[in-house]
Every structure is written in structure tokens, then in C-alpha cells.
Structure 1
Amino acid sequence: MSTARTENPTSIMGLNKPNGQFRGPLKPVGLTSGSLATAPQPDTHQKGGNIPQSSGGIRFGDDWKKCLQLPQKDCRFRTSDVTSTKGNEFEDYCLKRELLMGIFEMGWEKPSPVQEESIPIALSGRDILARAKNGTGKSGAYLIPLLERIDLKKDHIQVHVVIATPGRILDLIKKGVAKVDKVQMMVMDEADKLLSQDFVVLIEDIISFLAKGRQILLYSATFPISVQKFMAKHLSKPYEINLMDELTLKGITQYYAYVTERQKVHCLNTLFSRLQINQSIIFCNSTQRVELLAKKITQLGYSCFYIHAKMMQEYRNRVFHDFRNGLCRNLVCTDLFTRGIDIQAVNVVINFDFPKNAETYLHRIGRSGRFGHLGLAINLITSEDRFNLKSIEDQLVTDIKPIPGSIDKGLYVAEKPNQS
């Protein structure tokens, strides 16, 4: 369970503290083996493994699917959030051969409901307002048409794909570093956050630099009134997709444990000893509590990482990469980690500190039960949290039940992927 060394680590109990990677004696958490159950890894021994992953090595008339390097088939149970489709195939959308190969080699077998609804409309050039649950394939719903519409022969930004804050993107545009006057497509994932009061003015400023008639795609699990105002101003007859018959994911079972503040760590220790955890994400409401709890978990003998916004970006990247690769079972974090994080092996989310609002709660528990798989959300509730608990239940029209003495593993532990 060793990781790459970091520069100038501070030693605490033999652990690396500043990079978020606390490590203690690894204590199995309800697992029968010492290894973590991570997402399926590509099988490099399948037929055609030596053939390049592009259509350049495939001749007309060849059965190109035989040349794919496919990952192991994922046979875990999936809920209707991702299985209730119309029966479409990715090949139905007349996509580029290279793109189709990449889709299948990622292990994506068929479009999810939001992908079925979104891909053909996005390819047509029409604006989209799509509302779908976390973990149901929203990223693929816009990335596939985005990649299909890029013309590799044109040497300019066509879709401005950037990892940055809106303010930083606007700064690059105004300095002439990012030339976006020919951009024909703008995608906003987590649109509710990007179009909040904190960012909407910046977003509108960015749009003013884009080409006229540009296409705008909005995707989110929640759409407040601010999004409706933006849509009326900037979108042209958008195609609306709403797959939110209910807000919480069907595969996530939710419980609460009524405790005092002093009982929280003991309760967490009990959960670790009784649950069959593949990987867990544990949320706190402040950066200070994140570090204190991560240290306490390590002292209890469990492997633990932590991550929060005050850490250097280099360390945050390292922690996220190592956690996603299964090098640690538990991650303690703030709400920095509630959006856009897809780690298939996470089957348990624990709210060590209960959130203040329904939106944050929804995004937190959505870190488990990804793409229709099963997950468990456990909330540690103090007397001060009981009103928030009731309010969130009402707003999300969901039922958070008292935690039973024994939790059925069938609610959150799925069968392992087929190894054949």
C-alpha cells in the first residue's frame, strides 16, 4: 500500500500528513480478502491486443469489433436509472469509427437514458437543457457528441474544453491566450453551480466572446430559478430533457444514526467494523475537521486519505488519483468532493457532519451508487441536525430511515464483475 514519495513530507506517526495520505496499519473492513474491489481493469490479453486503437490499422470490410481491447464485462446489478432505455445502440448515431472504438474500450456497452435522449439532439446542433441524476451518464451524454463534432483539420478552438474556474477562463480569453471566437459549442456540466450568483456574470461575459449561433448544452441534477432565467436569455428553443421522476438514486439506501457529537468517532469505528466496505467517502463540514478525523481514523488502525480546498493542487491530484486506483479504502473530505467525481468502487458514503441543505446532501450521497450500482448512505445526526434531516427528507421526497442493528449486504454490496 505504498505510494510515490512526496517532497518534504512531515512525519506524524510514520504517516505523510501534508499530502492528505494518512496511513496506518491496514485493518480489513468486513472484507474476506486484503485487496480492494476496484472497477474492472482492461484485459490486455484479449484478441487483437497488439492492434493500434485507431481505425488506421483496420481495413474496409474488417470486423473492427474483434480488434477492440475490451475491459472485463461488468455483471453487477444496475438500477432502472440507467437500464430503462429505448434499446438504442451507440452505432445507431453514425459516429466516427475511432470514437466508437473508444466508447467500447471504455466498457460502455449501450447508451443510458440521458445519453439516448441527448446524443442525437446534440449532434443536430440544437441547444439542450438536460436534467438527470448524478451517476447516470451525463458526462457521456455531452462528451460523445462533442468529440464527434470536432473537425481535426481545423486548427482552432472549437469546443473550449478547460479545467479552470470561470474567472480564469475569462482571463485567458481577454489576454488572447484562449481564442474562442470560432467556438461553436459550449457545455456547462453542473450548470446549477456555474449559473449561481457567484459565477453567472462571468459565464455571460464568456458567452459574449463566442461565435454567433453557438450551441449551448446545460446539464445538471438540479435546476434552480437562476438557470431558467439564463436559459430564456441565451438559449434558442432548447430541447428539454427531464429524467428526474425522483431526486435520489434508486440504488442508494439511506440511514441515519442519532448520536451526540462525542459519540461520532465511536459510531464510525463501529460502522467500519460491521460494514463490507469496498471504498468509502466520509464528509465533514470544515477543513479542520477533515484533518482531525482523518488522523483519528488512522489512529484507530484504518487506512485513510483526506482532501480539502486548502491543500496544494498537486497534493489534491495525488490523493484523488491514488484513491481512485484503490490504494486506500477511506477518504475524508469537504464538499470540494461532491461534484463530478466518479469512482465506481465507492459503495458507502458517510456524512460524519450532516449537510445544511438538500442540494449538498443529494450531491454527497451521489458519490456512491454510480451508474445504477448499489450504494449506502449513512448520516450521523445530532440533536442540532434533526430539523435539517426532516427538511431534506421533505425537499427530496425521500425516506432516511433509522439505522438497523444489522444492514443487509445485498443493499450495497454487488456481485463482483465476471472474471471470464
Structure 2
Amino acid sequence: MSNTTPVIQQFSEVGLNDELLKSLNEAGYQQMTPVQAMSLPLILRGDDVVVQAQTGSGKTAAFALGILAKLDVTEFAPQALVLCPTRELAEQVAEAIRKLAKNMANLKVLTLCGGVPTRHQITSLEHGAHVLVGTPGRVLDHVNQNRLNFAKLQTLVLDEADRMLEMGFQDELRAIVAKTPNSRQNLLFSATYPKGIKQLAEQVSKNAQLLKVAEAPTQAKISQVFYQLDDTDSAYAVQQILLNQQPQNCMVFCNTKAEAQRIADKLIGKGFSALALHGDLEQKDRDQTMVQFSHGSARVLVATDVAARGLDIAELDLVISVNIAHDLDTHTHRIGRTGRAGAEGLAITLVGAQDDYKLRLLEDDFAKPIQLQPLPTAPAASKPLQSDWVTLQLSGGKKDKLRPGDIVGALTRDNKLTMQHIGKIKVQSNWAFVTVEQGAAKHALNLINNDKIKGKRFRARAL
């Protein structure tokens, strides 16, 4: 397995067509990341690869470009299948592929995930798609109902394979792989490389090249601080840290669903703009939570590790771990969410008595012994983190031909709201979300609910 970080190359050096190079330029891609420079030439050559690389390393673009480079848009059948552990990640991957394929005419990317009605997916499958992105359970359901024909499949991607194994998808993965052509190209990406991943890789491909991509230099810009929790209530400790640090946004990781919900409830009760994210929430609630946090209308997200998988926030000021994670790879994954894109990040870990053994293991990766510090006391004048934004949900999406520009047009039609009042916009299959300033929310709701967009009436509500 190679541990060498290659010399960064330009995308123009690997033989990509003009359409993809144009999309890369329009998307702001400059140089390849190490994972792209190491894996993309092999992927484009048609090799099977197993890549160990951290989240945020650019792996999605690597396999997306590999898929799109050999895709035949005139062949309206599934030519690539990407399997992801969660719906959130699948949606993100599908969006990334669409972004890179924007200059390829008539290319269709379809997501097949649980949490949404099957009938919409069945209709979409009947119309055909070039690239399928989905979760193992829902994809296998379509396979078992003979709704998928993999005769033309060229590429199989297992993204975040370690999480799929952790979530118990071994049997589903095995069943899906068995239905795909033996001639397929296999691409497996994983943040860690435990024994189970090695076994899965051998089942999927006997001759895959194994690549271990060195962590990006940005990791060095993450400062880690460890606070002694003692008998202090963890929710109170998190509250004091947030008041003390005043981050623009923060993710708080908990080892259990109950703890995540309890801490979120405590923070909300103290006036913080906070939300919980864990497996007990219904899919629609998880979707709404993800959108609110990524759009900035909630500033604190208290989450379990599996639920937060696939949530990609480009700029995250602070990560707090309530107790050390169950394993050290997960701890590394948590702290790696801050300090991305070269920015400086801060990761704070609350260490309880039960963490002593894990702390000693973690210490092996540090040049010096870890020093536990006393919990800071928040300044008296500090205020709870609140958001100046609110996210609105519209009762229509891509199926209604709704586009971000249509929503902007509806909100600015009477010239009372400008682009400064409007934040991020996300359009999904059946819903759309737009974030607006708190003071503009009432007027924005009136504009949408009392008029038409593209000749249709939509209902909007504040989340």
C-alpha cells in the first residue's frame, strides 16, 4: 500500500475531455488534491482501486470524474452505481456529480435512498438514468423487484465503505455486487482500513491497487484541547465552552443518541440556536436539520457520529467531543471536520473518568503527553449563540422544475428584498429550502404563499 503523497498535478494533465475541464474550471477547482492526483490517473486507466483517505480529501471528485470520463450519454441505461452509507451523503455525491456533468448534455443522475416514497423512484427508473447513487438497502430493494438492469454497468463505487460495514450493510453489499457484471470497474473509498474493509475489497475485486493517501497538511492547523469533565454535567460543560469561544458554528459529537438529544434540549432551553441529529429522528426531520445547520440558521449541531456522516460543512469553527469516541479513527474523523480548506480549526474534547484508557491510546499519536485542562468559565457578559437567519421550506422542488433563480425572483419581485436578505438555497426533488434574514422572513413567506412561481402556487413555512 502506497503512503507517498504525489506531486500535485493539474487536471488538464490527465486527459479529461473539454466538457469536464470546463466544469472543473467553473466549479473553481484549481489543482488536484493528493487523493485526486494519486487515484485519478489509475481510475481513468480503468484500474480497480481501494483508497484510504479522510473525508474532505476530494475523493468524490476523483471517482465522479472517472465515471463521467467514460460515460456514453446516448446509452440511456445505468452505467455507474455509487453506494453510500446514508441518504445525506448520497444526495451530496449526486449533487457533486451533476455539478461536474453540467456541460454534458442530457446526462441524468438519480438518487435511490430510503426515507422517500418508492413510487417516485420507480417512475424515474422507468425513464432511465446514466448514474445511480444510493444507499444499499433501497438499491437492493429495487434490485429484488427487478427494477434495475445492470447489463450496461461499467463502474461500481463503494463510498465510505467503513461506515457501510459499521451500519451492518455487509449482506446488502454482497447481494448487490452479485447482480453486477464481472467486467465492471471497482472503486472503494474508506476513511479507515480495518479487517472488514480488507475482506470486502477482496470480495469486490481480486486485483485492486491499494492506495493510502497521506493526510492533508491542513490537519496540522487543527488545535486540540482536552478538558477534564470530572463530575460536571456534560451539557453545562458544552454550554460554557460555547459561551467562552463564541464560534460562528459548532458541531458537538456524542457517543449516544440519548446524550445528543439531551444536550441539544438543554442548549435550546438556554437560548442557543441548536439542533439535534441522530438515528431516532425521521428522515424528513434529519433533512431539515441538515439544511438548517449547513445554511447557518442553526449555529450548533449536536450529533452522533453515524447520523452526521455525509454532512459536509466547508467552514466549521469548532468541534466538541463529549467524551472520546468509541475508537480512535472516529476521533480523528471528528476533529478533521474543522480546519478544512487550509483554515485554522479548534477541536475540544471533554474527558471523563471512563475515557482514561482511550486517552492513553490517543496519546500515542502525540509528541507530548496530553495535558488535561480545567473547564473554562464563560465571561459574565457572553450571550448564547443565536442565528440572524431562518430557513424556509417550499412545497415544491426539481419535480416541479423549480430552480434557485425562480425562488430569488419570487423574493425580489417587489424590490423590498435584495440579494443581501437571501442566503443559501437548496432545491431537492420534492422540496426546496431558502434561507433569509430573520427580519425578512415574514415578508418572504407572504411573497411565496400569496403569489405564483412559474405559474404554480407553492406553500412555504419557516423551519
Q: TM-score, normalised by structure 1?
A: 0.70
Offset of residue 399 of structure 1: 6.6
Gap change, CA 1:106 and 1:248, over 3 Å in 2? closer
Deviations 1:363-400 (A, max 9, x none): 22222223443221111111122222222333799975
Deviations 1:165-213 (A, max 9, x none): 3232112112111222321111111122334592223212211111121
Aligned to 1:54: none
After TM superposition, what 4+ stretches of structure 1 lie above 6 angstroms from structure 2?
245-248, 395-399
Answer yes or no: is 1:169 the counterpart of 2:129: no
Offset of residue 332 of structure 1: 0.8
* Structure 2 CA distance for aligned equivalents of residues 157 and 204 of structure 1: 19
Offset of residue 122 of structure 1: 0.6
Aligned to 1:60: none
Q: Match of 1:198, SS?
A: coil
Q: Match of 1:169, SS?
A: helix
Counterpart of 1:100 (choices 3, 6, 21) is 21
Counterpart of 1:133 (choices 43, 54, 63) is 54
> Any conservation in 1 of the 2:237–2:375 contact (CA below 8 Å)?
no
Answer yes or no: is 1:313 the counterpart of 2:283: yes
* Structure 1 CA distance for aligned equivalents of residues 143 and 33 of structure 2: 35
Aligned to 1:237: 207
> Any conservation in 1 of the 2:317–2:346 contact (CA below 8 Å)?
yes
Gap change, CA 1:246 and 1:373, over 3 Å in 2? closer
Gap change, CA 1:383 and 1:370, over 3 Å in 2? same
Deviations 1:76-125 (A, max 9, x none): xxxxx9xx762411122232333223222322211101001111111111
* Structure 1 CA distance for aligned equivalents of residues 370 and 168 of structure 2: 31
Gap change, CA 1:93 and 1:336, over 3 Å in 2? same
Aligned to 1:392: 362
| Larger fraction in strand | 2
Q: Match of 1:332, SS?
A: strand
Residue identity in the other structure for 1:287? K
Counterpart of 2:36 (choices 102, 115, 118) is 115
* Structure 2 CA distance for aligned equivalents of residues 153 and 183 of structure 1: 14
Offset of residue 242 of structure 1: 1.2
* Structure 1 CA distance for aligned equivalents of residues 217 and 200 of structure 2: 23
Counterpart of 1:228 (choices 183, 188, 198) is 198
Deviations 1:318-355 (A, max 9, x none): 11112111112111111234433210121211012432
* Structure 2 CA distance for aligned equivalents of residues 398 and 202 of structure 1: 44
Gap change, CA 1:352 and 1:215, over 3 Å in 2? same
Aligned to 1:155: 76
Aligned to 2:220: 250
Offset of residue 245 of structure 1: 6.6
* Structure 2 CA distance for aligned equivalents of residues 237 and 263 of structure 1: 51
Aligned to 1:360: 330
Residue identity in the other structure for 2:81? H
For residues 1-400 of structure 1, what are the structure 2 equivalents within 5 Å? 86-161=7-82, 162-163=112-113, 164-195=134-165, 198-244=168-214, 249-394=219-364, 400=370
Q: Match of 1:367, SS?
A: coil
* Structure 1 CA distance for aligned equivalents of residues 26 and 226 of structure 2: 39
Q: Match of 2:252, SS?
A: strand
Residue identity in the other structure for 1:332? V
- Deviating more after overlay: 361-370 vs 126-135: 361-370
Structure 2 unaligned regions, length at least 5: 83-111, 114-133, 377-463
Residue identity in the other structure for 1:369? G
* Structure 2 CA distance for aligned equivalents of residues 217 and 116 of structure 1: 15
* Structure 2 CA distance for aligned equivalents of residues 145 and 291 of structure 1: 40
Gap change, CA 1:87 and 1:154, over 3 Å in 2? same
Aligned to 1:402: 372
Q: Match of 1:333, SS?
A: strand
| Larger fraction in helix | 2
* Structure 1 CA distance for aligned equivalents of residues 197 and 137 of structure 2: 19
- Deviating more after overlay: 138-147 vs 235-244: 235-244
Offset of residue 362 of structure 1: 2.2
Q: Match of 1:134, SS?
A: coil
Q: TM-score, normalised by structure 2?
A: 0.64
Higher relative contact order (CA 8 A, sep 6+): 1
* Structure 2 CA distance for aligned equivalents of residues 398 and 93 of structure 1: 42
* Structure 2 CA distance for aligned equivalents of residues 336 and 114 of structure 1: 23
Q: Match of 2:172, SS?
A: helix
Residue identity in the other structure for 1:132? A
Gap change, CA 1:302 and 1:245, over 3 Å in 2? closer
Gap change, CA 1:311 and 1:247, over 3 Å in 2? farther
* Structure 1 CA distance for aligned equivalents of residues 19 and 157 of structure 2: 22
> Any conservation in 2 of the 1:181–1:209 contact (CA below 8 Å)?
no
Aligned residue pairs, count: 324
* Structure 2 CA distance for aligned equivalents of residues 328 and 322 of structure 1: 6
* Structure 1 CA distance for aligned equivalents of residues 204 and 256 of structure 2: 36
Gap change, CA 1:219 and 1:120, over 3 Å in 2? same
Q: State percent identity of aligned pairs.
A: 29
Gap change, CA 1:190 and 1:92, over 3 Å in 2? same
- Two-structure CA RMSD over aligned residues (Å): 2.8
Residue identity in the other structure for 1:112? T
* Structure 2 CA distance for aligned equivalents of residues 387 and 293 of structure 1: 25
